[in-house]
Chains A and B, each alone.
Chain A
Amino acid sequence: MIRIENLYKRFGRNEVLKGIDLQIESPGIYAVLGPNGSGKTTLIKSILGMVIPDKGEIFFKGNDISKSPDYRNDIDYLPQIANFPANLTVKEIFSMIKDLRGGQASDQELMAAFGLSPFMDKRLNTLSGGTKQKVNIVLSLMFNSKLIILDEPTTGLDPVALIRLKELLLQEKAAGKTILITTHIMQFVEEMADEIVFLLEGKIHFRGSVNGLKERTHTSNFEKAIAQTLTHHYA
C-alpha cells in the first residue's frame, strides 16, 4: 500500500531522515517508534504530503503522491496536537471536514462511542483538552479509509476513552485496514502492534514484531528491550 524509497529530509542543518526505505503491504497495526527527534513525525508527515522530501519517492497504491492531493481521500490522519478554529462549534467542524472530503462518514456512531453528543453545539474553544482530543479522534476516524495514521493518539485521553480507542483500532484492523501509529507509551505498543518500525537517527534501525525485538535483545520485557537497543546504539 505504501512504498517509500530512499527518503531524505533535512531542516536547515538538521538532517532528520537519512535514507528511509519502507514498504507496508499487508493490513495490520504498525507502530513507528524511536526516541525524540528520530524522525517519526517527519516520516508520517512526508506520507501525508505535509513535509516535502529533499530526495526520494513515496508511492501510495502504486501512485507517486507528489502528483495529486487526491490520494489523501484514502487516508485518515490524527494530528498530534488538537487545535481548531476557536469560534466554530463541534457540529460545524464535523460538517466542514465532511464537506471537504465528501463520501460516507460514520460520525454518529463514533460520537456516541466517545460521548460527544452533549458537546455538539459548544464552541471549540470551550472544550477541555481531553474532549478536544476526542473530537480529533472522531474527525480522523469517521471516514472509511484504507490507511489510518495516528500521531500520538493517546495524549490526554481518560481510561474509558483509551479503552474505546483500542477497541476501535482492533475493529478497524479486523476490517482489513492498515494503521500506522506513533507513540511513546510502550504498553500500548506491546498490546496493539503487529509490527514495529524502529527509527534511530533518521534510519530504520529495526523492523519486525515485538517478540522479534525481545529475542534480538535477549530480554523478556519490551520496555527494557527498547532501552537496551538505544543504549547499545549510543554506547
Chain B
Amino acid sequence: MLKILKYSFFDLVRSRWSYVYLLFYLLIGYVLLFLNHDLSKAVITLMNIIVILVPLIGTIFGIMYYYNSREFTELLLAQPVKRMSVFLGQYLGVALSLSLSLLIGLGLPFISYGLFQSDAVWEFGLLLVNGTFLTLIFTALAFNIAMINENRIKGFSYAILMWLFLAVIYDGIFLMSLVVFGEYPLDNFSIIATMLNPIDLSRILILLKLDISALLGYTGAIFQKFFGTHTGVLLSMTILTLWVALPVYNIYRKSLKKDF
C-alpha cells in the first residue's frame, strides 16, 4: 500500500491543480492577514472559507482522480498486490496531497505573521486539524461514489449533490426544523443533528474554540455547555474519526467485490 501511496502522491503533488490549490491558500492567507491585521479574526474568516471549500475540493479531486486513473488501476490490479492496497493507497495519495496543500498554503502566511507569538495558535491548529479531517472525509466519500457509479457524469453529479446537501441544504433543513419545532426542547436534537454533518461539526468546534458562541444565542449556550467540556471535544473528534473510518471501510469492502 505504501508503495502505491508513494507514487500516486508523487503524481499528484506535481499536477498543476495541486499548485493552484496551494497558491490559492497562500494568497487567501496573506490577503486576510494583510486586511485584518489580527490573527483571530483571520482565523474566523478562514474557517468560513475552509468548511465550504475544503469539502468541495476533496470531493472533486477524489472523484476526478478515481475516474482518471481507471486504466492505471487495472494495471495495478494485475500486479501481485492486494486489492485493498491499490485503493487505499490511491485514496491516501489524494487525501494527503490535498491536506499538504492546505497545511503549507495556510501555515506559511500565518507563521510568517508571527503565529507562534500570538494566542491564536490553538485555534489555528484546530482549524488545520479540521481542514485535514474534512479532506479525508470528503475524499473518501467521493471515492465511494465513484466506485459505485461506473458512469462518470452520474458519479460527478452525485458527488456535487452530496457536497451541496451537506454544505448548504442540511443547514437549511436544520434551521427550518428549529423554527418549526421551536416550542419543544431541542437541545439534544440540535446536538445530534450537528454531529451527523461533518461540516457543521467542524464549524461549531472552531466557533466554540474561538469563544464567540455568544453570537449563536441560546443554541450557542447549549453547545458551549456540551462541546466546551473535555467530553464534548473528545466526542466530536471521535465522530469526525468515524466519519473518516466508515467511508474508508466501505472503500475496502467494495474493493473486494468490484469487477474491472
Closest to B13 in A: A87
Which residues from B are CB-within-8-Å of A71? 80
Whole-angstrom CA separation of A75 from B78 in the bound complex: 8
Residues A101 and B260 in contact in the complex (CB < 8 Å), given A85-B72, A88-B11, A92-B7:
no
Cβ-defined contact, A101 with B257, below 8 A:
no
Cβ-defined contact, A72 with B79, below 8 A:
yes
Cβ-defined contact, A86 with B80, below 8 A:
no
Please tell me which one of the listed residues B12, B68, B69, B78 contacts residue A48 in the complex, with CB atoms under 8 A apart: B78
Which residues from B are CB-within-8-Å of A82? 71
CB distance from A92 to the nearest CB of B (A): 7
Which residues from B are CB-within-8-Å of A159? none
Is A175's beta carbon under 8 Å from chain B?
no
CB distance from B10 to the nearest CB of A (A): 6
Cβ-defined contact, B77 with A50, below 8 A:
yes
Which residues from A are CB-within-8-Å of B68? 86
Cβ-defined contact, B80 with A100, below 8 A:
yes
Please tell me which one of the listed residues A45, A48, A73, A100 contacts residue B3 in the complex, with CB atoms under 8 A apart: A100
B244-260 Cβ-contact flags toward A at 8 Å (1 or 0):
00000000000001111
Cβ-defined contact, B3 with A83, below 8 A:
no
Cβ-defined contact, A87 with B12, below 8 A:
yes
Cβ-defined contact, A88 with B10, below 8 A:
yes
Whole-angstrom CA separation of A115 from B25 in the bound complex: 43
Cβ-defined contact, B260 with A45, below 8 A:
yes
Cβ-defined contact, A83 with B77, below 8 A:
no
Cβ-defined contact, A85 with B7, below 8 A:
yes
The B-contacting residues of A in range 170-214, CB under 8 angstroms, are none
**Size band of the A side of the interface?**
20 to 34
Whole-angstrom CA separation of A72 from B78 in the bound complex: 7
Residues A84 and B81 in contact in the complex (CB < 8 Å), given A51-B259, A52-B259, A96-B3:
no
Which residues from A are CB-within-8-Å of B12? 87
Please tell me which one of the listed residues A51, A52, A100 contacts residue B81 in the complex, with CB atoms under 8 A apart: A100
Which residues from A are CB-within-8-Å of B260? 45, 50-51
Is A99's beta carbon under 8 Å from chain B?
yes
Which residues from B are CB-within-8-Å of A49? 77
Which residues from B are CB-within-8-Å of A72? 78-80
Cβ-defined contact, B11 with A85, below 8 A:
yes
Which residues from A are CB-within-8-Å of B3? 96, 99-100
Is B74's beta carbon under 8 Å from chain A?
yes
CB distance from A40 to the nearest CB of B (A): 15
Closest to B74 in A: A79
Cβ-defined contact, B80 with A101, below 8 A:
yes
Is A168's beta carbon under 8 Å from chain B?
no
Cβ-defined contact, A79 with B10, below 8 A:
no
Which residues from B are CB-within-8-Å of A83? 69-72
B56-95 Cβ-contact flags toward A at 8 Å (1 or 0):
0000000000001111101111111111000000000000
CB distance from B94 to the nearest CB of A (A): 12
Which residues from A are CB-within-8-Å of B78? 48, 50, 72, 75, 77, 79
CB distance from A223 to the nearest CB of B (A): 30
Please tell me which one of the listed residues A48, A51, A52, A86 contacts residue B11 in the complex, with CB atoms under 8 A apart: A86
Which residues from B are CB-within-8-Å of A101? 79-80
Whole-angstrom CA separation of A71 from B79 in the bound complex: 9
Residues A11 and B259 in contact in the complex (CB < 8 Å), given A85-B11, A88-B11:
yes
Please tell me which one of the listed residues B75, B80, B83 contacts residue A79 in the complex, with CB atoms under 8 A apart: B75
A85-119 Cβ-contact flags toward B at 8 Å (1 or 0):
11110001000110111000000000000000000
Q: Provide a sorted-by-A list of 17 A–B residue pairs whose CB atoms are within 8 angstroms.
A: A48-B77, A48-B78, A50-B78, A50-B260, A52-B259, A69-B82, A72-B79, A77-B78, A79-B74, A83-B70, A83-B71, A85-B8, A85-B11, A87-B12, A88-B7, A92-B7, A99-B3
Across the A-B interface, give the 5 residue pairs with the lowest CB-CB distance, nearest first. Answer: A83-B71, A85-B11, A77-B78, A87-B14, A72-B80
Residues of chain A at the chain B interface (Cβ within 8 Å): 11, 45, 48-52, 69-73, 75, 77, 79, 81-88, 92, 96-97, 99-101, 139
